[in-house]
Amino acid sequence: MRALLVVNHKATTTSGRTRDVLIHALRSDLKLDVAETQYRGHARDLAREAAQDGSVDLVVALGGDGTVNEVVNGLLTHGPGEKVPRLAVVPGGSTNVFARALGLPNDPVEATGVLLNALDHGRERPIGLGKAMTEGLPDRWFTFTAGYGFDAGVVGRVEAQRNAGRKSTHALYVGQAIRHYFTQREQRRSGPVALELPGHERVPGLVMAIVSNTSPWTFLGNRPVYPSPLASFDTDLDVFGITRMTAFGTARTIRQILRSHTPSADGAPPAGPSGKHVVSYHDVRHFTLVSEEPAPFQVDGDHLGDRSRVSFTGVRRALRVIV
């Protein structure tokens, strides 16, 4: 099988020696070319070129969720199709939500072993993806989440810290979330975001909206976070929102989304967060989020600036993944 390995050499959890070991292992089973990213968006460009010229059957992303997102967007520049190369992932970031949601080990060496075994046995699965459309930006595919409002504002703060030289850690995210909470006093009480869902009444006043393509939404260390526990690569999108962020209500919601993701004793699926300020929809294909004033927007942890309107679509079986 002809393959391209796209390597983010700045990936936080892999050293040069580890990458060399992984490349050697992959070359034992693949006709492998290796390309290191040189700038933001380079992984997308590399994957797009590979998909357009038909030179590879498989693109392997070695890096974090940002690298994976770029590769996916490059592969799907012209949309899904049978000629699109398969995707494989070797986790190398700080959180690796997409890889872990697929059931891969969080260790890059172990994940490479799983990948080689999957190639030997021909294991692959089609997965659904989300697509976000907003004026002024190209359509953007996302693998596990998009956020609008408070959540995306936290991502923007973290990105600013990383650009200033801070290392991406879970403590950094938690710290910036706390800071953002205390600096957004007015918006916590009445959010500017509204949800427009075909066949439903418009839902105004959202402080934040989290769109999930799978579950969990993210991890705090090894602890998964479940705002939309039923979200799946096999369904369309889930939406979770909050209309008011009081201290007590927010603490209650945090406890709910951190609780164990297990069915009840009667076999019913796990319930998501609930409460009078919680909005939740499961398995929806099309919807739009609109803000009275431009609000922060992110996909897969990549902050894309402030936007007034974003439309979302769930696309089933959009990509084939080696697992």
Residue 259, domain extent: 133-317
User: Is residue 127 assigned to a domain?
Assistant: no
Residue 260 neighbours by CB under 8 Å, 6+ apart: 270
Global pTM?
0.90
Give the tens place of pLDDT for each residue, 31-66.
999 999 999 999 999 999 999 999 899 999 999 999
Domain count, the chain: 2
pLDDT band of 257, cuts 50, 70, 90: confident
pLDDT in tens, 115-134: 999 999 999 999 999 999 99
128, part of any domain: no
The two structure tokens encoding residue 17 = 């020696």
Are the C-beta atoms of 309 and 118 separated by less than 8 Å?
no
Contact 19, 109 (CB under 8 A): no
CATH classification of the domain holding 242: 2.60.200.40
Q: Provide DSSP, 59-113.
A: EEEEE-HHHHHHHHHHHTTT---TTSPEEEEEE-SSS-HHHHHTT--SSHHHHHH
- Does residue 180 sit in the same domain as residue 221? yes
Supply the CATH number for residue 35's domain. 3.40.50.10330
- Convert the pLDDT of each residue in 284-294 to its tens digit: 999 999 998 99
